[in-house]
Structure 1
Amino acid sequence: MDAPRQDAWKDEEDLLLATTVLKHIREGKTQLEAFQEVAEQLHRTPAACGFRWNATVRKEYQKEIQDAKNSRKATRTIYSSSKSSDDTPMSLDAAISFLKEMKTKQFEDYGKENLETQLKKLNEDNEKLREELKQWEAAWNEMDKLVHWVREKRKSESGV
């Protein structure tokens, strides 16, 4: 007769795992973060929680998972839309998600313009450096002529 495992998952633990993972999905966090959170509470490893989720629990929550994903998308759409004029308070996670999205968009927009501006500035700097190089070469040539002239004068004065 097989005895039940001492580390077998209880219904309450499965429920905690499911609610935590769904909460993380809604908030735009990763499932790995959820597994770590549950692992600390249940004194299990994050890998054990991930395995339990993927092997058993997830199958029972397909509709809830889809609802959580849709909720996350709707939240992002609401807060990232500039048309929204209401003063609905934003959760911290939604604000972080919104700011990350804005940073990405700003970098994409700024990056294209900035590259063109940088290229123009580099070309201008390159032209200035070429002019400076010409001046230095001219000065070097003058110094060389002066050195040769001084040597010739010394030779002629010393009679060598």
Structure 2
Amino acid sequence: MPSIRQDAWTHAEDVTLADTILRHIRGGSTQLAGFAEAGGLLSRTPAACGFRWNSAVRKTYEKELKEAKVIRKENKREKKKAIGQREPDKEFTQKLNVPESRSKSTIAEPIIDQMILFLNQLKSRSESQETRQINEQLKSLRIENKLLDEAYQKLQKDYDGVKRNYESLLDVLKVVDQARKDIPHV
């Protein structure tokens, strides 16, 4: 892996950075993806490329940037037409109280299907993890219950023994009390 450069930017590097970013914008990609690619080309971090673009280079290429955005918009529109997507009927979206900005953004069905599949997988993974945690907690509670039940049984035996001894002692005390009553007083 080449070392990351931290020296001053050259004019040639600025041009490479601008070409890369503008190509990404025209192609419908993001500036962040362009920063990452430019970083690899120039042996600089994507953050350094982003900072350089926003602080110095962007101002120089303002006209080209606007043109790239127009091209991106046209490509997006043509792509929608090619896929066969149409903009929703304004009257219909107004009846549904859908804001106009939301009604224009449509998502292709395959993407929705992929999103649903992903969310279902995430849900089942989450549920299985929760189920596993609940089963572990149930197992530990059963062990604790068994130990408490054994301790209770031991205490019950001890209590029964103490109760028998107490009743025996009461019987002895009754006999002693009766014997005291039977002794003549002098």
TM-score between both structures, scaled by the size of structure 1: 0.49
- When Rg is computed on C-alpha atoms for both structures, the one with the higher figure is 2
* Higher-RCO chain (CA-CA 8 Å, sequence separation at least 6): 1
State the TM-score, normalizing by the size of structure 2: 0.42
